[in-house]
Amino acid sequence: MSKDPAVPSGCPAPELSNMLVLDSVGQDQADIVLLADDLHVCFVTLNRQWDGVVRPVFLTDTIDDLAAKLPQTVFVDIGSADKPDNFAVLLGAVGQVTMRGDTFHIYGPLHQSMVDLGSGRLATFVQYRFAVPAQGAQIGSDLALCTASGGCHPVAPE
């Protein structure tokens, strides 16, 4: 992925110093965090489409705004709309993040990475997706991302 006109203005060109790979599946799929600076982030989902071309889908916002929201869903237009990527930002040193309320194991493993933003600010970036297509699956209303300290953040609106 290079910086080109299709990349939103909030997303920097990927470099080793500003990029975190949260998840990847060979050369067909990857979920990446690009830090524009200590305030702005760009989540990128790369997927190989049916024509063989790897195309990115972007989600940009400030780190604080994303931390205040429910996890954000990125839909990919390649026939995998039933397995969208979900991204969340948790502020502080949160330790291992787990999914509460997923009794039917609908979601695959959570992938996370913590970053020191400077000035004593830490952020943990989390990515997850459906482990299986969600056709008719029961998703509990208590579904939440929970930190090692026991704090939980709802995944869906209450």
With CA atoms as reference, report the closest residue to 65 among 93, 87, 95.
87
* pLDDT number for residue 4: 55
- Hey, how many other C-beta atoms are within 10 angstroms of the C-beta on 25? 11
Tokens standing for 158?
Answer: 């209450």
Contact by Cβ (8 Å): 80, 47: yes
Q: Measuring CA to CA, how many Å separate 87 from each of 22, 23, 45, 55?
A: 10, 11, 10, 18
pTM for this model (two decimals): 0.86
Tokens standing for 152?
Answer: 């939980």
Q: Tell me the pLDDT of the chain averaged across its residues.
A: 84
pLDDT in tens, 95-123: 999 999 888 788 888 999 999 999 999 99
Higher pLDDT, 38 or 138: 38
With CA atoms as reference, report the closest residue to 110 among 75, 147, 137.
147
> Does the pLDDT of residue 1 top 70, yes or no?
no
